[in-house]
Amino acid sequence: MIQRLLLRLLSALLLALAVPVLSLPTTALAEQGPQTGLQEDTLVVETAGGTRHKFTVELALTLQQQARGLMYREHMDDDRGMLFLYEVEQPLSFWMMNTLIPLDIIFIDEKGVIINIQHGKPRNTTPLPSSRPALAVLELNGGLCARLGIRAGDRLLHPAFGVKRPS
């Protein structure tokens, strides 16, 4: 009698656990592909030498948008990027899971100053951290910072950092 009861309880438990697990592949497949429809804005990166580089960026503002980032993108133009904005400065770390293109991951403080730049390789799950707390991250095509001379200490001009964009 007790064995039968335990067997029924175990069967019910396994069934309860199986339902969510069986639904995962469908959910995962439905979410694959790049996110679209994000709000866009422009920002300028001003180098220490005074050179200005203008970018059109998608804004990743919600936790869901930030978690998805540039995953599944197969291409991004050099004048485009994604800006991740957070409410407070905090230690940040990014990875490249499901990211198909190389990225420069630029960590930015509350004044818009670049803290450090990490170079993400496609599909790599190694954490790429900020060297100190950051308020934002700008993702650009991999190698673009080196080609344009963008370095730590350079500044982003954007209202999120209390700086108006130049006209």
pLDDT on residue 69? 97
Strand 80-90 vs strand 52-60: parallel, antiparallel, or unpaired?
Answer: parallel
Query: What is the arithmetic mean of pLDDT over 133-162?
Result: 98
pLDDT on residue 2? 55
pLDDT on residue 32? 80
Q: pLDDT for 41-87, tens place per residue?
A: 999 999 999 999 999 999 999 999 999 999 999 999 999 999 999 99
What is the percentage of the chain residues whose pLDDT exceeds 90? 77
Which H/E stretch holds residue 140?
strand 134-141
pLDDT on residue 149? 98
Q: Which one-letter amino acid corresponds to residue 144? A: L
The answer to pTM > 0.85 is no
SS (H, E, C) 14-68: HHHHHHHHHHHHHHHHHHCCCCCCCCEEEEEEECCCCCEEEEEEEEECCHHHHHH
In whole angstroms, how large is the CA radius of gyration of the chain?
Answer: 21
CA angle 71, 136, 157 (to 5 degrees): 115
